[in-house]
Amino acid sequence: MKKPSGRILLATAAILLLATNTSLAQPTRLTQTKTLVFTHVTLIDATGSPAQPDMTVVITGERITTLGRTSKVRPPKGAQVIDASGKFLIPGLWDMHTHLSFYADTKQPPFTAFPALIANGVTGVRDMGGDFEQIAKWRKEITDGTITGPRIFQAGAFVDGPKQMDELRAALTIVVNNPEEARQAVVTQKQRGVDFIKVHNGVSRDAYLALADECRKQKIPLATHLPRSVRAAEASDARTISLEHIETLIESIVFDGVAPGRQPTKDPIAAMAEFTDKKAVALFANFSRNGTYFVPTLSGYRSFMQDAERLAATDAKYQAAAAGRNKLFQRFVQLVGLMQRSGVSILAATDFASKSGGRRPDVRPGFTLHDELALFVEAGMTPMQALQTATRNPAQYLGKSDSLGTIEKGKLADLVLL
């Protein structure tokens, strides 16, 4: 990869300072050759410290070189100085569950999700299943400055079991039928150069446990959309680095003991009643002990609920489904708050995928991440804790706390000026 260089990009809703990172693709637009200084800005550094008013931040090249009270920091000679009075500076945001390949519009380059992400302050994404070659191409183009976009951490193809899929999903999936194929999928994906393995819910129990074991042997992270034959505690004990989607906690109860190919007899509302606070606290304590991150994607399920509510408004036969989804959603919000209080590291994410509006039409790149943070506050997080789910926590998850996630001296200038 070429030598890092500082970058600056101006967006409509925010000023994004996007510096180069040597392992993840970079947002770029205009080369930043001079020292850049923000004065009189309120700094929200995402470390947990209170907001710091009237601060000056000095950026030299791609790094933050000075932080201090404006009255005590003199801008270097020749620096570009921006008076940021009345504005706030935060770290760049991460959306930790996206599907870029399902949002692409190859007829209208550049890639259509990137402008919305950048305009909303989302400077990094974790792609959870897609076209490895296409995403690698976008990463290179972002690094080279050909297009403007976020840093991308990618899984490449899904690893899943045999099940019905549409044509695009099938083309982007490695299907595994047994433990041997699951182990080989890990080896193959690592050789291709993916950043982590993403397993989906169709994988059998024995194949999943073999896959998790192979990930440990190969020293590659595993992100899990919980298979229906595996309980959440088992996946955590198998050292998956993250579990995806709050509704899978209920699904694992619904499908517990159900033979492959058979339909469950327990409905989600009954499963929700079974998943008491006492059981949830015990499970979340297990996550915390194992260092398992959780990615709720509340906004994704909210869209699922809203879809039913729109149908129920004109057709009475959907009213029961809408009411049931609403009850589940309210419980999911409660569970996220309980998870936070139990010490689980939570990651903000949206699961945006389809720009055509067919799947979760209310989930949009960039915009919906803000909704997710608001839902976290509704769940009981402080605004700082919610912000950290999209800044500090992703950096810790990615092993990049030395350069990303918070605003501190020496870190990359991956910043959003609001």
Whole-model pTM: value is 0.90
148 close to 123: Cβ distance less than 8 angstroms: no
362 close to 306: Cβ distance less than 8 angstroms: yes
> For the chain, which domains are there?
7-92+405-417 (2.30.40.10), 93-398 (3.20.20.140)
Tokens standing for residue 218: 């190969």
Can the peptide bond before residue 227 be classed as cis, meaning omega within 30 degrees of 0? no
Residues 239-289: pLDDT tens digits? 999 999 999 999 888 887 776 667 777 888 888 999 999 999 999 999 999
Arithmetic mean of pLDDT over the chain? 88
Q: Is the pLDDT of residue 89 over 60?
A: yes
Q: What span, in angstroms and rounded, lies between the C-alpha atoms of 159 and 96?
A: 18
Please, which pLDDT band fits residue 309 given cuts at 50, 70 and 90?
Answer: confident
Give the number of residues written for the chain.
Answer: 418
CB environment 96-112: b (16+ within 10 A), e (fewer): bbbbbbbbbeeeeeebe
- The pLDDT of residue 106 is 52
| Phi, psi angle pair for 372, to nearest 5° | -60, -40
Q: Is the pLDDT of residue 341 over 90?
A: yes
Please, which pLDDT band fits residue 354 given cuts at 50, 70 and 90?
Answer: low
- The pLDDT of residue 308 is 80
237, with CB counted inside 10 A (0-12, 13-18, 19+), is middle
Residue 400 per-residue DSSP state = -
Q: What span, in angstroms and rounded, lies between the C-alpha atoms of 132 and 134?
A: 6
E strand or H helix that includes residue 223: strand 222-224
Tokens standing for residue 119: 């305009």
7 close to 18: Cβ distance less than 8 angstroms: yes
Q: What span, in angstroms and rounded, lies between the C-alpha atoms of 54 and 71?
A: 8
**Three-state secondary-structure class, residue 2:** coil
Q: Is the pLDDT of residue 6 over 50?
A: no
**Three-state secondary-structure class, residue 305:** helix
Q: What span, in angstroms and rounded, lies between the C-alpha atoms of 376 and 354?
A: 24
Q: What span, in angstroms and rounded, lies between the C-alpha atoms of 14 and 12?
A: 6
